[in-house]
């Protein structure tokens, strides 16, 4: 049986940064994101008669810790399905890998869906979200389309994402691709370093939980302004917690900061736009879909050297094609 799944990256409006359990990937706080309609990852799984799993990403064989993460998810699916065939996993990203554009979120959401299908595991969305989480925390959210909240939970069973209904205006995310170079510190290591050494980490955890409650309320009431303000606050507080690490973790570059300023200037001129950034220098600007073109035009004026991609709310991870060998 060969199964192919497709998934899209998500961008957190309330960030996930820091784990309380590294093995189970339980986060220190809950988070909330928008799944996009750009940069899909397609993953095909073929069950083989070989004795080892094979993992190929964008044409290159993975080994060591990179393939270990994939094999962890495959092992969990094998355990749940009671089967033990090895798999050949072939994954193709359309976003530069590890550049802070959430490629791992799309990749592990696609992996969980493709693996459950290949091993004929009858998994509900919650189980798929928990499986994706074991590959990469943020992937728990890409199982769902649109807005999703990952509830931190207290154990494996209770830590999963769920979709949220948005009653506000149609959303867009303008992605400013400052750099597609691979990041110097992986988010996994940077996160660990922040947890272990930043004196601001406890304050981040405490305040982000409050932001999540407020964001959930803003989603329920369809309050775009509150959503935007909370989005910027969560992003800046996350980066502040990283600045306090030893040695510091600094993903934002001069261009990223200039983009945050340009977004603030847009707001001053009456266009509601709010900036966020993840484990990389790229800045994503949340705005109403109806304002996306003017946001691109204005940001291009301020920062002409940057490439802009407009994304909207996208679909959750799903099976793209199947064939029985
Ligand atoms: C900054 O999900 O990549 O994008 O669980 O260690 O794989 P691991 O981390 P990952 O971290 C994403 C961090 C972030 C914020 C977010 O997406 O919430």
Look at residue 320 and tell me if it is in a domain: no
Domain boundary (106, 130, 165) is at: 165
Protein residue closest via CA to atom 4 of ligand 1: 278
**Does ipTM exceed 0.90?**
yes
**Separation of first and last alpha carbons in the chain:** 5
Protein residue closest via CA to atom 7 of ligand 1: 136
Global pTM reads 0.96
Q: Are residues 188 and 262 in the same domain?
A: yes
Look at residue 84 and tell me if it is in a domain: yes
CA 318 to chain centre: 16
Nearest to 238 by CA among 246, 247, 249: 249
The Cα 147–Cα 149 span in angstroms is 7
Q: How far is the CA of 156 from the centre of ligand 1 (A)?
A: 17
Whether the CB of 74 sits within 6 Å of ligand 1:
no
Q: Are residues 144 and 196 in the same domain?
A: no
CA-CA-CA-CA dihedral for 215, 216, 221, 225, to nearest 10: 10
- The answer to whether 174 touches 154, Cβ cutoff 8 Å, is no
Look at residue 321 and tell me if it is in a domain: no
Q: How far is the CA of 44 from the centre of ligand 1 (A)?
A: 23
Whether the CB of 4 sits within 6 Å of ligand 1:
no
Residue 77: Cβ-neighbour burial (10 angstroms; 0-12, 13-18, 19+): buried
Q: Among 279, 280, 281, 282, which residue has the most ligand 1 atoms within 8 Å of its CB, making it the best to mutate?
A: 279
Q: How far is the CA of 282 from the centre of ligand 1 (A)?
A: 15
Ligand 1, closest atom to CA 188?
Answer: 6
Residue 253: Cβ-neighbour burial (10 angstroms; 0-12, 13-18, 19+): middle
CA 227 to chain centre: 18
- Local structure of residue 36 (DSSP, 8 states): B
Whether the CB of 12 sits within 6 Å of ligand 1:
yes
Ligand 1, closest atom to CA 135?
Answer: 7
- The answer to whether 317 touches 4, Cβ cutoff 8 Å, is no
Q: Are residues 67 and 108 in the same domain?
A: yes
Read off the pLDDT of residues 37-83 as tens digits, 9 standing for 90 and up: 999 999 999 999 899 999 999 899 999 988 999 999 999 999 999 99
Q: Among 13, 34, 137, 175, which residue has the most ligand 1 atoms within 8 Å of its CB, making it the best to mutate?
A: 137
Whether the CB of 136 sits within 6 Å of ligand 1:
yes
Read off the pLDDT of residues 87-102 as tens digits, 9 standing for 90 and up: 999 999 887 655 557 6
Region 271-296: mean pLDDT is 97
Cβ neighbours, 10 Å, residue 320: 17
Q: Are residues 24 and 149 in the same domain?
A: yes
Ligand 1, closest atom to CA 136?
Answer: 7
Is pLDDT at 322 greater than 90 in this prediction? no
CA 113 to chain centre: 16
Q: How far is the CA of 48 from the centre of ligand 1 (A)?
A: 31
Look at residue 54 and tell me if it is in a domain: yes
The Cα 103–Cα 115 span in angstroms is 18
Is pLDDT at 324 greater than 60 in this prediction? no
Q: Are residues 129 and 202 in the same domain?
A: no
DSSP three-state, residue 318: strand
Q: Are residues 150 and 275 in the same domain?
A: no
Region 18-45: mean pLDDT is 97
Q: How far is the CA of 267 from the centre of ligand 1 (A)?
A: 28
Q: Are residues 149 and 262 in the same domain?
A: no
pLDDT of residue 325: 42
Whether the CB of 212 sits within 6 Å of ligand 1:
no
Work out the mean pLDDT of the chain and round it to a whole number. 94
Domain boundary (165, 180, 204) is at: 165
Q: Are residues 23 and 111 in the same domain?
A: yes
Q: How far is the CA of 187 from the centre of ligand 1 (A)?
A: 6
The Cα 156–Cα 144 span in angstroms is 18
* CATH (domain of 211): 3.30.70.890
pLDDT of residue 94: 83
Share of the chain above pLDDT 70, in %: 95
Q: How far is the CA of 70 from the centre of ligand 1 (A)?
A: 16
* CATH (domain of 103): 3.30.230.10
pLDDT of residue 27: 98
Whether the CB of 278 sits within 6 Å of ligand 1:
yes
Look at residue 324 and tell me if it is in a domain: no
- What values do phi and psi take at 148, rounded to 5? -140, 140
Q: Are residues 78 and 181 in the same domain?
A: no
pLDDT of residue 129: 98
Is pLDDT at 278 greater than 90 in this prediction? yes
The Cα 127–Cα 109 span in angstroms is 11
Region 116-139: mean pLDDT is 98
pLDDT of residue 184: 78
Read off the pLDDT of residues 186-208 as tens digits, 9 standing for 90 and up: 899 999 999 999 999 999 999 99
The Cα 93–Cα 42 span in angstroms is 7
Q: Are residues 181 and 293 in the same domain?
A: yes
Domain boundary (134, 165, 196) is at: 165
Q: Which residue has the tokens 């069973």?
A: 157
- For the chain, what is the domain count? 2
Read off the pLDDT of residues 151-189 as tens digits, 9 standing for 90 and up: 999 999 999 999 999 999 999 999 999 876 766 788 999
Edge-first strand order for the sheet with 41-48 is: 60-61, 54-57, 86-93, 41-48, 2-7, 318-323
Q: Are residues 138 and 184 in the same domain?
A: no
Look at residue 319 and tell me if it is in a domain: no
Confidence of residue 321 (pLDDT cuts 50, 70, 90): low
Beta pairing partners, 93: 41
Q: Are residues 158 and 177 in the same domain?
A: no
- Local structure of residue 119 (DSSP, 8 states): T
Whether the CB of 143 sits within 6 Å of ligand 1:
no
Look at residue 323 and tell me if it is in a domain: no
Read off the pLDDT of residues 136-157 as tens digits, 9 standing for 90 and up: 999 999 999 999 999 999 999 9
Region 212-235: mean pLDDT is 98
Question: 225: domain range?
Answer: 171-312
Look at residue 79 and tell me if it is in a domain: yes
pLDDT of residue 323: 46
User: DSSP characters for 237-253?
Assistant: HHHHHHHTSSS------
């Amino acid at each position: 049986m060969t199964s192919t799944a497709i998934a899209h990256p998500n961008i957190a409006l309330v960030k996930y940064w820091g784990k309380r359990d590294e093995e189970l990937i339980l986060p220190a706080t809950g988070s909330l994101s928008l799944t996009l309609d750009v940069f899909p990852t397609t993953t095909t799984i073929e069950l083989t008669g070989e004795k080892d799993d094979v993992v190929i990403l964008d044409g290159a064989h993975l080994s060591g810790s990179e393939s270990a993460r994939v094999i962890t998810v495959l092992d969990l699916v094998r355990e749940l399905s009671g089967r033990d065939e090895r798999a050949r996993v072939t994954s193709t990203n359309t976003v530069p890998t590890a550049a802070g554009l959430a490629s791992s979120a799309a990749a592990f959401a696609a992996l969980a869906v493709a693996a459950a299908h290949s091993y004929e595991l009858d998994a509900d969305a919650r189980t798929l979200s928990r499986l994706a989480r074991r590959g990469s925390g943020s992937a728990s959210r890409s199982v769902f389309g649109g807005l999703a909240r990952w509830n931190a939970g207290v154990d494996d069973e209770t830590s999963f994402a769920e979709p949220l209904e948005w009653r506000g205006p149609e959303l867009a995310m303008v992605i400013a691709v400052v750099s597609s170079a691979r990041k110097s510190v992986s988010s996994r290591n940077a996160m660990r370093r922040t947890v272990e050494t930043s004196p601001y980490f406890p304050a981040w955890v405490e305040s982000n939980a409050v932001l999540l409650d407020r964001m959930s309320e803003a989603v329920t009431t369809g309050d775009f302004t509150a959503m935007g303000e909370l989005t910027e606050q969560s992003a800046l507080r996350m980066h502040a917690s990283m600045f306090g690490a030893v040695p510091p973790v600094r993903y934002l570059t001069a261009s990223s900061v200039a983009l945050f300023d340009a977004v603030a200037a847009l707001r001053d001129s009456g266009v509601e736009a709010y900036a966020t950034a993840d484990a990389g220098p790229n800045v994503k600007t949340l705005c109403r879909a109806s304002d996306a073109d003017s946001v691109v035009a204005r940001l291009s004026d301020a920062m002409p050297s940057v490439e802009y991609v407009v994304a909207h709310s996208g679909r959750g991870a799903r099976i793209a094609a199947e064939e029985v060998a």
